[in-house]
């Protein structure tokens, strides 16, 4: 019995000693990790004027990285906070250490590569993109981004291999298909590129990036009319956009820079990502409840999404927060017009002009309303005021021209249309009206020049161009070529 008690005590002591040894080893490893992480921490940037919560979170993460029990977790938070708030040099320094101490996480090479790509350092980004793709074989944005980087660094065969591998996993991936079309374009295989893009827009008519590239292809094939039609589909502001990337997008959850949130929301809205744009604008308003610009952006976003009642609430708040900003009143009046609330629109217009008496947009709107009401003399005064305040904009010239034509003042109307073209050479209504006028006047050369310009202007409807061509042929006996 005594021997058993002695043996138990010896065993217990051994177990305690082993536990202490293990604990001591763990404490030593954590200490080593702390020292490693601390040596790689970026210097704290200038945070003057920044968010108090951001400063607090950065300070807390820095403290935990230096003395906490989970230094790697603290470094992850620092990296995200720096990246999300535009401190890219600091973020890259943190990512560089995470690549070593948290090597199994594919987000770090992916996010580091994104920052390097933004600086044009694609050769440095490529190995990181390959690493992210290997670590995250199911995360297709990493694959597509690698393909895009290979394309940009003139490695077409490797890029094609990546895009095809993506399509093998996800046959409907729009961005891999777009990448193959861009490879065809780079190789001047215009017919192949067009076939691929045409299939893409047929299946996905709202995919603006494909229409944008299709217009470029049609231009290079010499089909200017079709290129114009392509641009009509995407709009003049259509641009190629990369594949949405949730790993990068989710960083905005840690963003405390209201301006950055508004910019990212604007980009998302342009890409048709309404929910994402709304998410960031609502975050901006949580951070800065009195930010009139974010209120206006959100109001306009909701208006485009046909959520008009909610849009009205945000635009009214924007105008209340910043009554001296004429844009707030312009957008509010436009929305109230859409809603058909004429009384509220009139009141908003009057209040807006009282706060912004030098707003050309508000004077233009008052002039337009007076013209509709038949108060032509007053309308002319308002429109002339709008033109004086913003002489580089064509809308007041065009509206004055239409009023003059209605009153039978053809020469005055033509002069206003010429003024519109002088400040905006592609103004659609002015091109069509002046081309028709020159045809009626028998000036074939002037009419031909205007018709050619109308053909090149995406905002001029194809039907209007066809009507001008018929009128030209009837007048001069030949087609306007």
Decide: 336 and 348 in contact? Cβ < 8 Å: yes
Q: Which value, to the nearest 10 degrees, does the dihedral of the CA atoms of residues 309, 311, 317, 320 take?
A: -90
Distance CA 16, CA 14 (A): 5
Q: What is the pLDDT of residue 206?
A: 83
Q: What is the pLDDT of residue 9?
A: 57
Helical ranges in 356-423 per DSSP H: 360-372, 376-389, 395-406, 410-423
- Does the fold of domain 358-424 match that of domain 257-351? yes
Architecture of domain 358-424: Alpha Horseshoe (1.25)
The angle subtended at Cα 117 by Cα 111 and Cα 119, nearest 5°, is 115
Q: What is the pLDDT of residue 4?
A: 59
Distance CA 236, CA 424 (A): 14
Alpha-carbon separation of residue 388 from 104, 140, 429 (angstroms): 63, 53, 21
Q: What is the pLDDT of residue 20?
A: 46
Distance CA 393, CA 400 (A): 13
- CATH class of residue range 257-351: mainly alpha
Decide: 65 and 78 in contact? Cβ < 8 Å: yes
Q: Domain locations in the chain?
A: 257-351, 358-424, 429-481
Q: What is the pLDDT of residue 12?
A: 53
Helical ranges in 271-375 per DSSP H: 274-287, 292-304, 308-321, 326-339, 342-355, 360-372
Phi (first) and psi of residue 68, to 5 degrees: -85, 175
Task: Tokens 């090149």: give the residue.
Answer: 456
* Cα of 99 vs its chain's centroid, Å: 30
Decide: 206 and 234 in contact? Cβ < 8 Å: no
Decide: 382 and 364 in contact? Cβ < 8 Å: yes
Q: Which value, to the nearest 10 degrees, does the dihedral of the CA atoms of residues 258, 263, 264, 268 take?
A: 130
Task: Enumerate residues 6+ apart whose C-beta is below 8 A from 48.
Answer: none
| Per-residue 3-state assignment (H helix, E strand, C coil) for 57-97 | HHHHHHHHHHHCCCHHHHHHHHHHHHHHCCCHHHHHHHHHH
Q: What is the pLDDT of residue 237?
A: 45
- Quick check: helix, strand or coil at residue 423? helix
Q: Which two tokens stand for residue 480?
A: 């306007």
Mean pLDDT, the chain cut into blocks of 10 residues (481 residues total): 58 50 52 84 88 94 92 96 96 96 97 96 97 96 97 97 96 96 97 96 89 93 85 62 89 95 92 91 97 98 96 98 98 97 97 98 97 95 97 96 94 97 94 96 96 90 93 93 85
């Amino acid at each position: 019995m005594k021997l058993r008690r002695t043996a138990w005590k010896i065993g217990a002591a051994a177990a305690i000693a082993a536990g202490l040894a293990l604990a001591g080893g763990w404490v030593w490893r954590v200490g080593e990790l702390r020292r490693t992480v601390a040596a790689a921490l970026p210097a704290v940037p200038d945070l003057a004027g920044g968010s108090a919560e951001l400063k607090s979170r950065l300070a807390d993460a820095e403290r935990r990285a230096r003395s906490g029990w989970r230094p790697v977790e603290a470094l992850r938070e620092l990296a995200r906070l720096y990246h999300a708030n535009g401190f890219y040099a600091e973020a890259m320094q943190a990512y560089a250490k995470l690549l070593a101490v948290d090597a199994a996480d594919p987000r770090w090479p992916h996010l580091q590569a994104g920052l390097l790509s933004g600086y044009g350092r694609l050769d440095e980004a490529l190995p990181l993109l390959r690493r992210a793709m290997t670590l995250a074989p199911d995360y297709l944005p990493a694959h597509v981004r690698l393909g895009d980087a290979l394309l940009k660094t003139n490695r077409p065969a490797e890029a094609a291999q990546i895009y095809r591998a993506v399509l093998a996993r996800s046959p409907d991936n729009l961005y891999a298909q777009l990448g193959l079309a861009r490879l065809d374009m780079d190789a001047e295989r215009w017919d192949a590129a067009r076939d691929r893009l045409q299939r893409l827009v047929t299946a996905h008519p709202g995919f603006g990036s494909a229409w944008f590239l299709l217009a470029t292809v049609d231009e290079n094939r010499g089909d200017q009319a079709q290129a114009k039609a392509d641009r009509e589909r995407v709009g003049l502001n259509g641009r190629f956009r990369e594949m949405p990337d949730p790993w990068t997008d989710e960083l905005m959850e840690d963003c405390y820079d209201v301006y950055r949130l508004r910019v990212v929301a604007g980009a998302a809205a342009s890409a048709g990502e309404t929910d994402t744009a709304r998410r960031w604008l609502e975050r901006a308003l949580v951070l800065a409840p009195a930010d009139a610009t974010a209120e206006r952006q959100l109001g306009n976003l909701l208006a485009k999404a046909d959520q008009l009642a909610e849009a009205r609430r945000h635009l009214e708040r924007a105008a209340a927060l910043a009554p001296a900003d004429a844009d707030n009143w312009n957008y509010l009046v436009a929305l109230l017009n859409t809603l058909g609330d004429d009384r509220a629109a009139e009141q908003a217009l009057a209040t807006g002009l009282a706060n912004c008496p030098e707003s050309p947009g508000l004077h233009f709107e008052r002039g337009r309303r007076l013209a509709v009401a038949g108060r032509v003399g007053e309308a002319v005064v308002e429109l002339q005021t709008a033109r004086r305040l913003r002489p580089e904009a064509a809308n007041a010239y065009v509206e004055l021209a239409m009023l003059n034509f209605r009153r039978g003042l053809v020469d005055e109307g033509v002069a206003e249309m010429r003024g519109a073209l002088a400040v905006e050479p592609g103004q659609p209504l002015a091109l069509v009206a002046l081309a028709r006028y020159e045809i009626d006047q028998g000036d074939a050369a002037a009419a031909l020049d205007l018709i050619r310009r109308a053909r090149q202007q995406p905002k001029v409807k194809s039907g209007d161009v066809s009507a001008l061509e018929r009128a030209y042929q009837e007048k001069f006996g030949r087609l306007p070529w």
